[in-house]
Structures are given as C-alpha cells and as structure tokens.
Amino acid sequence: MSISPIERAAATTPPGVARRVKGLSDRALAWIFVAPTILLLLAINIFPLIWTIRLSFTDYRVNRPNREAEFIGLRNYERILTDGDIWISMQATAHFLFWTIFFQVVIGFALAYLINKKFRGNDLWTTIIVLPMMLSPAVVGNFWTFLYQPQIGLFNYVVGFLTGADPSSFSMIGEVALAPWAIVIVDTWMWTPFVMLICLAGLRSIPDSIYEAAECDRASKWRQFWTITIPLVLPFLMLAVLFRGIENFKMFDLVVQLTGGGPGATTELTSINLKREAFEKWRTGYASAYAVILFVTVFGLASIYVKALNKVKER
C-alpha cells in the first residue's frame, strides 16, 4: 500500500509540533500563514502612506531633523494647486501621456494585426518586435541620447536622409519644441510591443467561426474588421490604454536619462518634479502633499482599471 505525501509529512512531523498544530483551528492556521504578508504590507506600504499623509500637513524638512515640524493644515495642498510650475509639469505629463498612448495603441494594434496573419518567420518577427520592451529603461534612455546627437546621431541622419534637412541643424533633446516629442518617440519605441502583445492576445481569442459566419453572410473584410475585430479586441485595447496610462503617469527613469527634464523644464514630468522638490529642495512636507495628489490620481485611475478588468472577465 502506498503512502500519500500528506501522510508522509504527518509521520515526519515531530509529535510536539503535531500536538500544537492539532489544537489550532483552520482559521487560526490561515491567519498564521497570512500574517507575515500582512505585516510586511503594513510595514512597507501602509505605514509609509499614512506617514506621508501626516507629513503633507506639516512644513517638515528632512534635511533639518532637529527643527520641530509645524502643523500647517492644507497650506501645502493650496500652494501646489496654485503653483504655475506644477501646472506646467502636469501639462508636460499630459502631453507625454496622450501622445505615447495614442501612438502605442495605433502602432501596437497595427503590428498585432499583421503578426496575427499566418506567414513564414512569424515567430521570429514577434521576438524581434518584442526586444525593446525587455531592455532596461536607463539603458534605453542612455543609448537614445547618442541616437539623438546632432553630429553623430543615427536618428538625425535618418531624418536628414528622408527630408533633405541638414542633420546637425536640429537637436531633438536640446530644443524646447522637439524635446517633448523626443521622449514620446523613445517611449513609443520601447512600449509599443507591450500593447502589441495585449492586442495579439485579443485577436487570437476571436474564434475563426465568427469570421466564417460573416463570410457566409457576404460581409466585406472592412465590415468584418469594424463589427467583429474591433468590438472583440476593444476590452483588451482598453486595458492596454489604462495600463500604459498608469505606468506613464509615473515615468521617471527613461526621461531622466534622456533629457533630465530639460531643456528648462520642458520635459520635467510630475515624478521628476516631485523628486526635485523632495530630494533637491528638501521640502519634505510639500513633496509629501504632492505625492498624495499623484497617489490619489493613480489610485483613481487604478480603480477604473480594476473595474474594466472585471468587465473583461465577465465577458
């Protein structure tokens, strides 16, 4: 007669431990297993969050630890929400968010549509397209600064070759008008594969029988695209948009490596601005209020994301 792994484990448990465990209810055991995770979450997520909210109501400066923090109520929030520089930083973030999502969705969907067609070397192309997504944002930011160099950069050379313009006549990361587009191009290059993968999952989940039924009804390819493909891929696209939206709202490393927020503050996204307030100007209370505003924004967007996710699951 064979012994099951559970029986074997029970046999090897020391009698003292077995007696103690035997006395515990299932509920108590569950709590024992979950407690370390809950404690860890409380220590590294919940406590810092509550502490940040508390600090946001004070004028605390972390570089002056001996100075007593004074409670100033909502003054930090009032200052942030009437600060023109932060408003400009929010606009830079909005520009970055809108255009990266737009390009990533359009190009990502188009690529997924092409990759979904069965052709030779399909898997190889998928791997090549997905490569940028696997690189570190810091590395990507660094090598794109070389690609954007007016004198030796490949990007300028290609633009010059295609348009006839002098490659050294413009600098993508040095000009106020071009720098916001420079970061959009790099993020699009890096993260379009991610949107493509989500769209591909959506496209592959559509059963062939629906298209076959549409063919029987003599529906044109155009009609099939708008009445079958788009509605069925839409939830996936929506998820991709929300996911990229939340990620890009927190964008930091790529842009810091690429432009450092410049020229001036043209590409200073909110996360970069926040880091400057907290660790360069050392206005900890002010930066905490700023962080709370960004947290509520991301949390709100995440709530809609979860709702959308549940809707997709229901389908």
Partner 1 sequence: MSEARHGHRHEEADPARQKASRRILVRGPWEMAASILIGLGVLMLMQPFFMWAFTYSFIVLLIGTIGFIIVSHFPE
Q: In this complex, which beta carbon is closest to partner 1, that of residue 229 or of residue 271?
A: 271
Give the residue with the Cβ less far from partner 1, 93 or 273.
Answer: 93
List beta partners, residue 58: 71
Whether residue 65 contacts residue 84, with contact meaning beta carbons closer than 8 Å, is answered with no
Please provide the DSSP assignment of 222-251 as one string: HHHIIIIIHHHHHHHHHHHHHHHHHHHHT-
Q: Helix 230-249 crosses helix 284-314 at what angle (to 10 degrees)?
A: 170
The residue ranges that bind partner 1 (CB under 8 A) are 77, 81-82, 84, 87, 90-91, 93-94, 97, 293, 296-297, 299-301, 303-304, 307
Q: Give the residue with the Cβ less far from partner 1, 19 or 307.
A: 307
Q: Which is nearer to partner 1, 86 or 203 (CB)?
A: 86
Taking the complex as a whole, the smallest distance from the CB of residue 86 to partner 1 amounts, in Å, to: 8
The residue (of 183 and 196) whose beta carbon lies closer to partner 1 is 183
Q: What residue type is assigned to position 236 of the chain?
A: F
Q: How far is the CB of 91 from partner 1 (least distance, A)?
A: 5
Listed residue (303, 243, 297) closest to 269, CA to CA: 297
Q: How far apart are CA 77 and CA 88, in angstroms?
A: 16
* Least separation in angstroms between CB 199 and partner 1: 23
H or E element at residue 76: helix 75-80
Give the nearest distance from C-beta 84 to partner 1 in angstroms: 8
Contact 263, 174 (CB under 8 A): yes
DSSP 97-156: HHHHHHHHHHHHHHHHHHHHS--TTHHHHHHHHHGGGGS-HHHHHHHHHHHT-TTT-HHH
Least distance (Å) between residue 127 CB and partner 1: 36
Closest by CA to 225, choosing from 208, 211, 239, is 211
Instruction: Please say which residue, 62 or 246, places its beta carbon nearer to partner 1.
Output: 246
Q: Name the minimum Å distance from CB 101 to partner 1.
A: 13
